[in-house]
């Protein structure tokens, strides 16, 4: 099997943030506990600041990842396959950058290969790398599609995301069970209505039958 390294060079980004220490992060959690009206010194909350700091390390692990670098390793030996490659129902967990509330949902990611494909696990990892950051769903959708476009240079990319936003379901208007749907289509998926319809039907078969 032929394997290609795409030679991706990470774009120059902003200077690294001056991240606070673990101790400063835990102190900030104690401040929020006091602001909420509780006593961070009581038994049940003594270890909460440490737990929250560890949880943040998991929830926002995407800041440590280079999403496009994940797509460097590609495969050329595909017997000329040039039809849609689609991975559906990629469950993701993210957080709203406006309220820090969870966004829970599924991503459906497709591309039309030119002369190479990427391992399917990399598509799921790509979703996680962007989801595990503070996000808005529109940006998340565009970031996933953009990374695939730049790294694989396919004939087209299609991304559809369905997410329940807990900033809407557990506060504010209190509307649980409401899903937000966003899409980003490039290349042939944008230009060819039949291909676009095929992607939508495969990505959301239940909605198609309603």
Q: Which residues are catalytic?
A: 96-99, 137, 165, 167
At the topology level, CATH places domain 22-61 in GTP Cyclohydrolase I; Chain A, domain 1 (1.10.286)
8 Å CB contact between 86 and 203? yes
| Share of residues in the chain with pLDDT > 90 (%) | 78
8 Å CB contact between 191 and 176? no
Q: Which two tokens mark 169?
A: 């379901």
The model scores a pTM over 0.95: no
Q: What are phi and psi of 84, to 5 degrees?
A: -60, 135
The C-alpha atoms of residue 118 and residue 26 are separated, in whole angstroms, by 40
pLDDT confidence band for 69 (50 / 70 / 90): very high
96 is in an annotated binding site: yes
Domain 68-204, second-level architecture: 2-Layer Sandwich (3.30)
Q: What is the pLDDT of residue 188?
A: 97
pLDDT confidence band for 207 (50 / 70 / 90): low
The distance in angstroms from the start CA to the end CA of the chain is 43
95 is in an annotated binding site: no
Q: In the chain, what are the domain boundaries?
A: 22-61, 68-204
3-state secondary structure of 20: coil
Give me the mean pLDDT over the 46-62 stretch.
97
Mention every residue, 6+ apart, whose C-beta is less than 8 A from residue 128: 62, 65, 92
| Share of residues in the chain with pLDDT > 70 (%) | 90
What is the tens place of the pLDDT at every residue in 156-180? Answer: 999 999 999 999 999 899 998 999 9
pLDDT exceeds 60 at position 210:
no
């Amino acid at each position: 099997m032929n394997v290609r390294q795409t030679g991706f060079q990470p774009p120059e980004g902003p200077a690294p943030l001056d991240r606070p220490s673990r101790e400063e992060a835990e102190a900030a959690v104690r401040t929020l506990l006091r602001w909420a009206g509780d006593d961070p010194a009581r038994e049940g909350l003594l270890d909460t600041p440490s737990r929250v700091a560890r949880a943040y390390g998991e929830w926002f692990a995407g800041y440590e990842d280079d999403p496009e670098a994940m797509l460097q390793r590609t495969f050329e030996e595909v017997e000329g396959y040039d039809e849609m490659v689609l991975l559906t129902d990629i469950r993701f967990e993210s957080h709203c950058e406006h309220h820090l509330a969870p966004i829970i949902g599924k991503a459906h990611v497709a591309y039309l290969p030119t002369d190479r494909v990427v391992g399917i696990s990399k598509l799921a990892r790509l979703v996680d790398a962007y989801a595990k950051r503070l996000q808005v769903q529109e940006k998340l959708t565009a970031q996933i599609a953009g990374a695939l476009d730049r790294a694989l240079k396919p004939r087209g990319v299609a991304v559809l995301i369905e997410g329940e936003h807990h900033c809407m379901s557990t506060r504010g208007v209190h509307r649980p069970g409401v899903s937000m749907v966003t899409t980003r289509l490039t290349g042939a998926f944008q230009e060819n209505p039949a291909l676009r319809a095929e992607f939508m039907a495969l990505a959301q078969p239940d909605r198609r039958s309603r």
